[in-house]
Structure 1
Amino acid sequence: MEIRINSDFSQADLNEMRDVYASVGWTKHTNDKIKTVFESSNVIAIVTSNDRIVGFGRAMTDGVFNGSSKEVSTFKRVKGEG
């Protein structure tokens, strides 16, 4: 599986991101909530394969010493693929 990782949330398809959440049973994430939490995070990674979002992660950091991972999610069908 060829993957690409980018940090440009402005181009993210919120419906595809919601599908990733739903694939692991997280069905309460609306597009508005997804947009809010990702725009509030200062480090993000969006993983695509064949131009479709298959996973993502977000974190918060002070840029100097401390940081914390807030979430990492992948489509259930691609877990363990790479």
Structure 2
Amino acid sequence: MDIEVKFDCSRVDWNLVADILKDVGMGHHEPSLHKKAFENSYVTVFIYYGNRMIGFGRAISDGAYQAAIYDVAVAPDFQRKGLGNIILKNIISKLLQCNIILYASPGKEDFYTKNDFRKMKTGMAQFTNAGKMSEKGFTD
């Protein structure tokens, strides 16, 4: 599969970002909010197949020793082709000096375990909609 990896937010279809996140069952917002989140991130990665964006991810970081990965997603019809690994490895390549945290969608933990992530014993969260996140299996 001939893909292109881009690290900038130029020419991104933010409606498609919201649609892909919705299609894969992840948290999604208004396109303008995704635009703001990605543009304010330390690292962004977008995967294109021809002119079609088919996956993406981002990380926030202090650029010194801490980072967090968010919004790693691949369009459903392109999953199981190793594209998630490409996105993740490209993000990590820009964060080599950092400890990296993330939270995975329930059921996707094995993907991250295969990429050398380990479960944390002390992870804590305060969500704006705690009940919804509990229903989805993110918290007790």
TM bracket (short chain): 0.7 to 0.9
- Could you say what secondary structure the match of 2:18 adopts? helix
AA of the residue aligned to 1:49: Y
What residue in structure 2 maps to residue 36 of structure 1?
36
Deviation string for 1:14-34 (max 9, x for gaps)?
122222113213474211111
Question: TM-score scaled to structure 2, two decimals?
Answer: 0.53
Question: TM-score scaled to structure 1, two decimals?
Answer: 0.84
- Greater per-residue strand proportion: 1
Which sections of structure 2, spanning at least 5 residues, go unmatched? Answer: 83-140
What residue in structure 1 maps to residue 54 of structure 2?
54
Which sections of structure 1, spanning at least 5 residues, go unmatched? Answer: none
RMSD across aligned C-alpha pairs, in angstroms? 1.7
Shift of 1:3: 1.1
What residue in structure 1 maps to residue 72 of structure 2?
72
1:11 matched to 2:24? The reply is: no
Larger-gyration structure (1/2)? 2
What residue in structure 1 maps to residue 24 of structure 2?
24
- Could you say what secondary structure the match of 1:9 adopts? coil
Cα distance between partner residues in 1 of 2:60 and 2:22: 24
Q: Bigger relative contact order, structure 1 or 2, given CA contacts below 8 A and separation 6+?
A: 1
For the 8 Å contact 1:56–1:74, the answer to whether it is kept is yes
